[in-house]
Amino acid sequence: MKLRIAIQKSGRLHEDSIKLLKECGIDINNGVNKLKTEAANFPLEVFFLRDDDIPQYVEDGVADIGIVGENVVLEKNRPLRTVEKLGFGKCRLAMAVPKGMEYNSIRDLNGQRIATSYPVILQDFLKRMEIEAEIHEISGSVEIAPGIGLADAICDLVSSGSTLFMNGLKEVETILRSEAVLVSNNRLTPEQQQVLDKLLFRIQAVKKAKN
Ligand code: PRT
Ligand code: ZN
C-alpha cells in the first residue's frame, strides 16, 4: 500500500508543502481543486485538506502522515508522532492587548476576557501561569475583538506583527513558537514505514542543502 500524506489544500502552508515534496524529487501535479493526487515517481498519495482536519485524518488512518503547524497539532491534542520539523510556516502564538493598556506582567490578565481560536493551548498556558481569565473562543478575525468590546486581550498567531499593529494592539507574551511539522500515526505497515524513511532521508537532505 502507498504512503498517504495529508497537506493543506490552500492557505499559508500549501505552497511550501508542495515545494518541499518537489525538492525531494517527488513529481506531483497539484490541481488545487482536487481532493487527492498520486505521485508519478514515488509511492505516495497526496490528500488536500483543511489544516484543522489533518490531525484527525492522520489519527484515524485516512492518511498516514501529514504536514501541519505545531500550533494545530497541540490545539487538536491527538496522539500523533512528530517526525520532523520542516522549517517553514514559522510563527508564534502570542498574547496581545490594546496598546493604551498598562501592562506590567502576566498577572494583569487576571479577570480579563481573552479572545482566541486556540482555547486548548491558552487554557493550558493560563493554568501553568496561575491566571484566572475568561476565554472567548472565536474562529476568525480575533484581532478585532478588543476593538468591538468583545474581549480585553487576544491570543493569536503572529508573524510580522503588522496585523496587531494595524488593530492598535501590542504583543505582551509569547505562548508558543511554531513551524510546520511532519506528523505520523503509529500504524504504518513495514512497507509504508520504509517509504516514510526514504521520504525523511530526502527531507533531511533538502534541509541540509539550505543551511
Ligand atoms: O483553510 P484552512 O483551515 O486550511 O487554513 P487556515 O485559514 O486555518 O490557516 P492559514 O492558511 O491561515 O495558516 C496555516 C498555518 O500557517 C497556521 O496554522 C500556522 O501554523 C501557519 N502560520 C504562519 C500562520 C501565520 N504564520 C500567520 N501569520 N497562520 C496564520 N497567520 C495569521 C494570524 O492568525 C493573523 O491573522 O496572519 C495574521 C498575522 O500575520 P502578521 O504577519 O500580520 O503578524
Ligand atoms: Zn484552518
Query: Do both 19 and 52 map to the same domain?
Result: yes
Give the H or E element holding residue 210. Answer: helix 190-210
- In a 13 Å sphere around the CA of 200, the CA atoms on its Cβ side amount to 17
Q: Is the pLDDT of residue 32 over 80?
A: no
The CATH number given to whatever domain includes residue 130 is 3.40.190.10
DSSP β-bridge partners for residue 95 = 155, 173
**Sheet with 44-49: strands ordered across:** 36-38, 44-49, 3-8, 65-69, 180-184, 81-85
Query: Do both 116 and 132 map to the same domain?
Result: yes
Positive or negative, the Cα torsion across 60, 64, 67, 69? positive
Residues 109, 95: contact at Cβ < 8 Å?
A: yes
Give me ligand 1 centre to Cα 12, in Å: 6
Ligand nearest to the CA of 162: 1
ipTM of the complex: 0.98
Q: Is the pLDDT of residue 30 over 70?
A: no
Assign 31 a pLDDT band (cuts: 50, 70, 90). low
Query: Do both 45 and 108 map to the same domain?
Result: no
Query: Do both 53 and 95 map to the same domain?
Result: no
pLDDT of residue 210: 87
pLDDT of residue 109: 98
Assign 153 a pLDDT band (cuts: 50, 70, 90). very high
**What distance in Å separates the CA atoms of residue 156 and residue 122, rounded to the nearest whole number?**
10
**What distance in Å separates the CA atoms of residue 66 and residue 17, rounded to the nearest whole number?**
10
Assign 211 a pLDDT band (cuts: 50, 70, 90). confident
36-40, 100-104, 191-195: least confident range: 36-40
Query: Do both 106 and 151 map to the same domain?
Result: yes
Which cell numbers in the block locate residue 53? 482536519
CA dihedral 94, 97, 102, 104 (to 10 degrees): -20
SS3 38: strand
Query: Do both 125 and 80 map to the same domain?
Result: no
Query: Do both 68 and 104 map to the same domain?
Result: no
Nearest by Cα to 152 from 135, 129, 139:
135
Query: Do both 10 and 65 map to the same domain?
Result: yes
Residue written as grid cell 527531507: 203
Nearest by Cα to 7 from 48, 65, 35:
48
Query: Do both 63 and 136 map to the same domain?
Result: no
pLDDT of residue 142: 98
Query: Do both 56 and 95 map to the same domain?
Result: no
pLDDT of residue 26: 97
Give the H or E element holding residue 84. Answer: strand 81-85
Pocket-testing residue among 15, 138, 159, 175, ligand 1, by greatest number of atoms within 8 A of Cβ: 159
Total domains in the chain come to: 2
Query: Do both 184 and 142 map to the same domain?
Result: no
Residue-number span of the structural domain to which 38 is assigned: 3-89+179-210
Which cell numbers in the block locate residue 158? 503572529
The finding on whether 21 has its CB within 6 A of some atom of ligand 1 is no
Q: Is the pLDDT of residue 35 over 70?
A: yes
Residues 114, 92: contact at Cβ < 8 Å?
A: no
Query: Do both 152 and 204 map to the same domain?
Result: no
**What distance in Å separates the CA atoms of residue 143 and residue 176, rounded to the nearest whole number?**
18
The finding on whether 89 has its CB within 6 A of some atom of ligand 1 is yes
Q: Name the pTM for this structure.
A: 0.96
pLDDT of residue 190: 96
pLDDT of residue 34: 82
The finding on whether 52 has its CB within 6 A of some atom of ligand 1 is yes
The finding on whether 170 has its CB within 6 A of some atom of ligand 1 is no
